Structure formats: structure tokens, C-alpha cells
Structure 1
């Protein structure tokens, strides 16, 4: 087989194949290669790819390439070292592989393409590589994706910020999503003010001031950074989390009245309150007949608990379609909750009152964290599909690859797809 065919089959350019042979011991194909003359004329640093004087001839090494049938294929070449004025003595760059990699660029791209939909176990079995090698390859591919696509944060105006748990032991990722395009803009490890600051550091001071809307869940570690970095943005408080606060307050009242009934020896009354959680939690239109009956019993026998239920429902009604005029309903709710004599709701009113402006923004602009919660579910699916990640950089790389618009066609087939031959 000609050397040109081997190079085309492996997706390798600017390279000359000198010899192709089957290894006498291992059942693998070895292709002895060297860079073409144009590349050899100017040795380059493997890290920054800038021209650098030759230091020594180095040693021969191999790179795993795309398989030929059932046979593994390796490229083999002498890898000299250069003396870079910035990075010192480092391995010279080669056209067929990334710096300090054991696989060719084409092999890395195939792994990245499979990672969009296949579990790591399937990729490692199909391509005959180690489980952890998949994550290392993805972390290697993403810097090139960033360089190819340029500045992906330009023109950002409306964003959403949230966190997602990825491992036991309070391990979180902070994510930022573009409301207009639906793309994942930024992901970093941690759940703190520093995590949010990293995004605005990447965005830059000028573009941070151009952000017009931010949706968040009311976390204490988000608001101070928003006030510091983009003070002119309208912060929108996510409705789901506000209603969840009311549901949690309702549950506190439910547990308290049930415990009070048991302590007072009112067994029949306590039994009537048993299994009432879902009847109180669910929306009225979703109740079963049994739950409707349970709610009727509560209305007739326990006024404080039913009052807590009505408070939860009125707060939920604030966020039903109707526009910014529904802020008056929120003011009425705050007044009612403050004098309800239900400690959890009195405390909730104290929590919500300083956030009235954020809720008003939510009602005016119709912005919520629904899109971000959807992104969180996709990230959890990626984690489950891979059976977890030991390396956080690998998790961040595959998350960005799948959700930030970095997808590429299967290497070597883009032209066929465009021409309609496949």
C-alpha cells in the first residue's frame, strides 16, 4: 500500500511516510514518518508552536493512530527537542499530534466525536484505549476548539447562573448559560463568589457592564458578585425557587401541627393529618380524589395548616401569566404572611421583602432559570452516562464539548456529508 494512502486513511497532513510494516511480535502496523520539508525547515516549540533552534535529535517514539481493520496503527518518528526562549528545552511540535500526546490529532477527534453520545466504557472498548484516556483526550481537544471558534462570549446580554452537583461530598460546578442562544457559556468547579468572579474575569469589565439581565436562584454567593461586576443588570429571581421556599415553610407548619396533635393526645386528628404532604404540595389541578378529600378534611379541622396552604398557593399565583401588575399581589401576600402568626411564613416574608425588586424584574421580563435547570439535567445525564468522572477537568471538557456548541462532524466524513454521498 502506498504511503499516500496510509496518510489519507489516518487523516494526517504535512507528513511523509517513509516505511509501512507489520511489527514482527505485536500484531500492529507501524508507519515510519517524518514532517514534510516545509515543516522541517523551521523547528517549532511543542507548547507555543513558535520557531525555535534545534537542541538535539531526541529519541524515537510512537503515536496511536486510527485503526486499520482489526489492527492497531502507530506512527513512529524521531522526535527532536528545541530550545524555546519562553519554555526552555521542550519536545518539538509535529504536524500529526498535539504536544505531549500519545495519539494523533485524527484519533483525538474521533474520540471527541464519540464522546457526544457514547459512554466512556463503549469508547474505550471500541477504540481499545484506557477508560481514563478518554477524559485526558477530551481535556486536550478543548483548547484547540477554543482557539478555532474564537471569542464565544462576545455579544452576551442575558445570562443565567446556577450550580449543579457532580459528586458526593458537596462537589459542585458553577454554570453560566446564555438565555438567547441556549448555549453553555462557562463552567467551573466550585460554588462560591470566586466561581462567579471567574466568569466575569473571562468576560472582561467592558462586556460585564453590557449584560442587561441575569437570572439566578437567590443564592447568597451570587448576588454580591452581580452587584460588584454588573450593577446595571436586572437581576431576576427564579420563580421555582421562590415557590419552593413557600413549600418548605408549609411543610414546617405541617410537621408542627402534627407533632402538636400527637403531644396533646389527639390521635384521631393526628391520623387525619397523616399522608397529607402531597395533597398540600401539589397544584390544585393535579390533585387526585383522595388528595382532594384529604385537603377538605384539613380545611375543616385545622385552620392554621389550611391557612399555610393558601399562603403557598397565593405566592404561586404571583408568578402565573399576567405581567408586572402582579407585583401588587406580591405586596398583598407579604402583608398577609407577616400577620399570619405562622412563624415559618413570617420568616419567609422577611426573606422575600428585600428581594421584591428581583421578583418585579422576573414578572416584567419573564425570565427564569428553567433553561438553566434543563442544562443541569443534561450535565447529570452526561455524568451518569460516563459512570462518573475522577478528573474534574475531563468532566468540564466533555460538558463544554456537548453543550457549548463545540460539536464537529465525524473526522474525514464532513465532505461526504456535504456532498450527499453518505
Structure 2
């Protein structure tokens, strides 16, 4: 019988079974009526066996599409009247979580689609309002995060990323040893590190066990790290240090381009690696290097700083190279680089710590790019909580999410009484 076929296809086991299939092609849907054939059941509250059914309440759930047709499950779900705990409790159905109007497989499909397209686009594909899909995402992300263990976290990377256009940011905390997003919160101030310390403790970690904190030279981050992770070595991220060199180079070029119009259009050439130059950019840079312009000198200083990170593998190897570079920067007569030299000198211990193997934000930057790509796909998020939930889904490497609906189905025997 077709009802038996669909009972097996839906993974149902006794006493649940498909009793009726209603196909209405003109409405583009197929409906499955599921029945519960037993007269008694264990109490869901206290697990006392063989309790009588009290009544049945009609419920409906959206399921995965059947070919091109919407599929819906309907069931009169029994409630058990327990003589032991004196409660009337609804029996949980095996195909959906309590309170949801989607089946678990439908929710699993939602979680598969959301990281690869905007939730609005996923809603159009599934023919469901995006607001309902966001509730599914937030429920499963929060549930999965609650089960995550951070007990072995020792090295963290701290960075900020934009959540909206303008000055709206979230601070993200990554595990540097097992690249994953640990925590994200609105803001980019000292308080965000306190929030992370609290969240770390709630997930079995210990702030005192953190040995390295990789970050930029933000005063707020430094103050937060000193207060909440006093045992950790602060490592100023190499990418941010080189970025400060690029910023100083930009200042020199912008000041000089007013008197040297030949510098117009050279910005991207100055920032790219020589191996990535186009033919035109190579010609431009060869001309620049033969000139006596301040920008040429600034570019050489910036490239020398980048070369230190390409050459030195340990703090001991980096220290003499940085000392030599700092001497050059302080004598170069270019105010932006003299200022950068003073900044690096002030933070030299943390800069040297950044040369320790793996103690940098390289993977953090890669994850942040993935988050910004998701932000671009969605054309922004109305709520910062939505962006944070998507960040966990994309970069959190959560292991307690529902399994894909496309793996071979293995029904779990349902308890009978």
C-alpha cells in the first residue's frame, strides 16, 4: 500500500504510521495524515510505563518537498494522563522538535542552505518567510553552542568586523589552535573581553588558562586583556603591524601627490606584492623606484617591514631585524613612519610575541572575509543578532547541529509500551 511506502520513507516506526495520503496537484501540495495506534504510552514527564492516553491534539508540520510539491505532515498527537506524577503531557513526535512547525529534516535543510545563500533567498526557494527560518537558525545555533566545550582553549585571536555600513562593529574571538569562532558580541571596547571571559567560563574554559591573546594595538583590547587574561602573553598581530606600515605609506603618498601628479593611480601598485603586479604596474613601480620621491622611500621602508615577517620565524630572529628597521624609520624624515616607529617601540614586546608560530590572526582574517561575504550576500542584516548567528553557523564549526537530510536515513526504534 502507498501508506506503507510513505511510512517507511518518512522513517516512522510503530505505533506511528501514515494512515492517509492526500495529493492535490492544483494546490501544489501533498499531505500525509499520521496516526498513533497505541492505546497507552510511557509518561513523557516521569517515564512511568503504560499510562493511558488523555486526548489528542491536531498538529501540522512542513516537511521536505515531495518532487516539486510542498509536503505537510498532520497528526493528532496524544497526551498522556499520568497516574503517578498527576500530569497531562503531550507525547513528543519523532520527526520534529517541540514547538516547531517544521520537521527536523526541513530544519536541517535550512541550516545547509543558510551559509551558502541569503536567508531571504533560502526562504524564497523553500517558500517560507525568512523570519520563520531565522527562528530555526537561532534555535539550533544557540542549542549547539550550549553544548560546545572550550576547556582546551589556550590561544585566542581577537578582532573586529563590521556588521553594518558605518560604525557598527562586532568583536570576534577565535581559537587559534583549532580555527573556529568561539564568541561574537556587539561593540569593540574593553567590555567585550569581559563578556568573552564570562562565555568562556560558561563553556568549561578558564580565563587563567589562556596563554596567548593575538590582537591589534587597540588600547581597549589591551586594557581588556590585561584585566581578564592577566596570565596571557599579548601578541600584536603581524597583519595589523604591516597594515600600519601601509597606512603610513598612504599618508606620505597623499601628501606628495599634490605636488607630484605622476603619483595619481599608484595606490594599488604600492600595496600589492611585486609578484602580483600587472605589466603596467611593473612599469610604474620601476619608474617610482628610480625616482627620488618620498613615496618611493616610504614604499621601501614598508616593504622592509613586510620582509621581516617573511624572514624571521621566532622572536629572537626578529628582534635584531626590528631594531635595525626602527633605527631606519626614526631617521627617515618621514613623519608617518617616525610616528609608526615610536608606536612599535612602545609595543615592542607584544610585536615580538607575534612572531611565535601560529600566534597571529591569519586564519581570523580569513574567517572574517567569509563573514563579510555572507554580509554582502544578504545585503546587510537588520539585526546584529542575525549576523552573529550566521557567524557561528559559518565559522563556529558547531558539531551538534542536525545532520544533513541527504545522508542515508537510519530510523531509530521508537519506544513502545
TM-score (norm: length of structure 1) = 0.77
1:22 — aligned with what?
22
The farther-off stretch of 372-381 and 185-194 is 185-194
Structure-2 residue corresponding to 1:265: none
Conserved? CA contact 1:13–1:96, under 8 Å: no
Question: 2:173 matched to 1:172?
Answer: no
Write the deviation string for residues 208-265 of structure 1: whole angstroms up to 9, x where unpaired.
2222222212233322222122222222212222122122222222222344x4xxxx
Match of 2:66 in 1: 68
Aligned: 1:319 with 2:309: yes
Tell whether the 8 Å contact from 1:7 to 1:15 is kept in structure 2 after alignment.
no
Residue 309 of structure 1 corresponds to: 299
CA distance in 2, matches of 1:412, 1:311: 55
Kindly indicate whether the alpha-carbon contact (under 8 Å) linking 1:3 and 1:16 is maintained by their aligned counterparts in 2.
Answer: no
Q: Is the 8 A contact 2:330 2:337 kept in 1?
A: yes
RMSD of equivalent CA atoms: 3.9
Which residue matches 1:266?
Answer: none
Distance in 2, Cα, partners of 1:371 & 1:378:
11
Could you tell me which runs of 5 or more consecutive residues in structure 2 were left unpaired when the two chains were aligned. Answer: 82-87, 411-417
Q: Residues 332 and 35 of structure 1: is their aligned pair in 2 closer, same or farther, counting only changes over 3 Å?
A: farther
- Counterparts of 1:22-421 in structure 2, within 5 Å, are 22=22, 27-34=29-36, 40-44=41-45, 60-69=58-67, 70-78=69-77, 94-120=93-119, 123-146=122-145, 150-204=147-201, 207-259=206-258, 261=259, 270-283=260-273, 286=277, 288-297=282-291, 299=292, 302=293, 304-323=294-313, 324=315, 325-365=317-357, 367-405=359-397, 406=399, 409-411=403-405, 413-414=407-408
CA-CA distance at 1:356 after TM superposition = 0.3
Pair 102,212 (structure 1): closer, same or farther in 2 beyond 3 Å: same
Taking the aligned partners of 2:339 and 2:376, their CA distance within structure 1 comes to 38
Contact 1:136 1:394 in 2 (8 A): no
C-alpha deviation, 1:360, in angstroms: 0.8
**Conservation of the 8 A alpha-carbon contact between 2:213 and 2:234:** yes
Kept after mapping to 1: 8 A contact 2:77/2:91: no
Cα distance change of structure 1 residues 279 and 6 upon mapping to structure 2, 3 Å threshold: closer
Moved more, 369-378 or 57-66: 57-66
Q: For residues 81 and 348 of structure 1, what CA distance do their matches in structure 2 show?
A: 72
SS of residue paired to 1:218? coil
Residues 331-371 of structure 1: CA deviation (Å, up to 9, x unaligned): 23333333444332232223222210111112243532111
In 2, the alpha carbon distance for the partners of 1:280 and 1:71 equals 56
SS at match of 2:289: helix
Preserved CA contact (<8 Å) 1:60 1:78: yes
- Shift in CA distance, 104/350, structure 1 to aligned 2, threshold 3 Å: same
Q: Secondary structure at the match of 1:221?
A: helix
Number of residue-to-residue matches in the alignment: 391
CA distance, structure 2, for counterparts of residue 195 and residue 10 of structure 1: 46
- In structure 1, the gaps of 5 or more residues are 83-88, 262-269, 417-422
Q: Give the structure-2-normalised TM-score.
A: 0.78
